[in-house]
Amino acid sequence: MKTSYFIGLLAMLCGFACRAETAPATPLAPGYAALPYPLAAPASYTLPVIGAAGDGEILTSDNQPKRLHDLMGDKVVLLSFIYATCSDVNGCPLATQVLHKISRQLQKQPELAAKLRLLTLSFNPANDTPEMMRHYGSGFKTGEFDWRFLTTRDEQTLQPILDAYQQNVQKIYDEKGQFTGTFSHLLRVYLIDTDKNIRNIYNVDFLHADTVINDVKTLLVDHKPAAAQPAAGESLYQAGDNKQNYQQADYQTRSLALEHRQGKPAKLIEFANKPPLGLPKLPQPKDNPLTSAKIELGRKLFYDRRLSFNNTFSCAICHIPEQGFSSNEMVTAVGIEGRSVRRNSPSLYNVGYAQLLFHDGRENSLEQQVWGPLLAHNEMGNPSVGHVVDKIKTSSDYRGRFEKAFNKGPTMETIGQALASYQRTLNSADSPFDRWYFGKQSQALSDAAQRGFKLFTGKAACTSCHSIDEKSALFTDQKRHNTGIGYAESMQKAPEKQRVQVAPGVFVDVDNKSLQGVAEAKPNDLGYYEISQNPADRWAYTTPSLRNVALSAPYMHNGSLASLKQVVAFYNQGGIANENLSPLIKPLGLSAAEIDDLVAFLQALNGSNVETLVSDAFAAPVGDSR
């Protein structure tokens, strides 16, 4: 029996026995105590489908290879991710303790126990071998209750499973960059029905044996998924047809049906009149003050496909609400009829604060900016302003709406003002960082993110461009900089072959000459120089805000960096040298552990109202008919 098993067991026991003798460093999670409120009757509520349960290759404690889905379908499943040596009393030990309580309680309810299976999967396969998991499980299993302790062959095999459940796990490194054997992760336990759909996700605050058993009973009364329920939680942040891990041969779709993508309208004007914690007062133009009527009209226009030349393309098709109001699936945007756009779709979160708009900063007001994509031949493709105005004038469902909002009909001015009004409400903050830094809540930010913030404002010098003020933070200096990304793309020689994916896990190398025969040559991109004609502005692009940045991959004006870790690594190397490189960009000398901490900080910038804004978007009318 390995030493690490005893460490994990000791950590678990400390969560139960030792806390009577010594005060815990942090308050114990609700799962350790009795519920302070009575439970609702089973089946008096519904558990809508959140998403499809992920699959992947696992090893049983008997070292037998299986698919995770092999252990689903015949019973309701509770799936938890742990690692055996975890010492956080409100982490893995909590999950195992709650499942242990469930197994003990169900010994007295054999009919219910026969319909439930517990799965505990390690995310540390290097230490948690099948033998290790067998020993670990032997200390908690009660009787013949169906509780499986699982692991994987290696980290590469595990990663697709973690991705499928959006379970973010990060290794902790010491000051020398050595792995400490501990992990940073958020505790989640997944309730999965017999159709292999996730029906609930429990975190530290909601994981309790009594509530879980109540939910299991609710599922068993009627195991059929609730129809036409709004999407909730993290499923709102993903594409309806999620292509994550499409590059792998065992890819399985996790599509979310349109009937489950319903939302709830929000009072958007409140996010403008009283911005969330961490944002300053929202600037509003004197000639276009916000009103609810303008916002409602702009919202309708934003999701209306008829604003494109061929009635197929809305603003939201490039600025997808559940993808950070950007596009996670496209490196650069694609307009009507599949026409290529040379730049990435920027996020619209907090765009009302931006002083420079578009990647090159060529516009300075939202009212003017909206006409760029409406008239661009490769975006929405309209031939003229008049064409758009006339189309809206003849659409019966717009009758009286402009008059209500502006006391006059649709014009170039009022259409721009309406769309700008909606975009000015997409303000999102009150992130874990904001609650920690501005709200002075000491427990709001993880230790890794706190270390990342120290780097952000110190060694990494990120605040040179992504500024933080005393009472608010927009994380942008509202200026343009040359990082070398545009220079490299313009000056590098194209490879003779490019790798093209034609199916899940299937790639072919194609000659560039063949690709040129079926695709338009990508135009060069010189940044703000194209506007100013000043050679000093070559490859200069605006500094984006970092708020909600974890939701808007890929990154940079051309979408060339796929992850936040790649972005930090790019700046760590000092960008790409060229004669116009910003003097603020220099090699940083960050260790691997420091890069991980900086990424953890960036991931802590997601606003608390993201779900509300996405849900409101789902409730918006989609104009796709006359």
The pLDDT tens digits of the residues spanning 15-49 come to 433 444 444 456 787 878 888 888 888 888 888 88
d(CA 94, CA 565) in angstroms, rounded, equals 30
Task: Tell me the range of 48-57, 104-113, 551-560 where mean pLDDT is highest.
Answer: 551-560
440: buried, middle or exposed (CB in 10 Å: 19+, 13-18, 0-12)?
exposed
Bridge partners for 147 per DSSP = 118
482 within 8 A of 527, measured Cβ to Cβ:
yes
Give the lowest-confidence range in 201-210, 299-308, 577-586.
201-210
pLDDT value at residue 142: 65
Q: Look up residue 428 and give its amino acid.
A: S
pLDDT value at residue 98: 84
d(CA 623, CA 405) in angstroms, rounded, equals 19
Average pLDDT over residues 553-582: 96
Report whether pLDDT(521) > 60. yes
Give the lowest-confidence range in 87-101, 278-292, 402-416.
87-101
pLDDT value at residue 229: 55
Average pLDDT over residues 52-80: 92
Average pLDDT over residues 352-376: 97
pLDDT value at residue 25: 54
pLDDT value at residue 40: 87
Helices (H), 424-535: 432-437, 447-457, 485-491, 512-518, 529-532
pLDDT value at residue 622: 83
The tokens of 125 are what?
């396969």
Give the lowest-confidence range in 68-72, 106-110, 415-419.
106-110
- Residue 174's pLDDT band, with cuts at 50, 70 and 90, is confident
d(CA 80, CA 458) in angstroms, rounded, equals 37
- b/e map of 289-301 (b: 16 or more CB within 10 Å)? ebeebbbbbbbbb
* Cis bond upstream, residue 554 (ω within 30): yes
User: Percent of the chain scored above 70 by pLDDT?
Assistant: 89
Bridge partners for 170 per DSSP = 184
Close Cβ partners of 108 (under 8 Å, ≥ 6 residues apart):
none
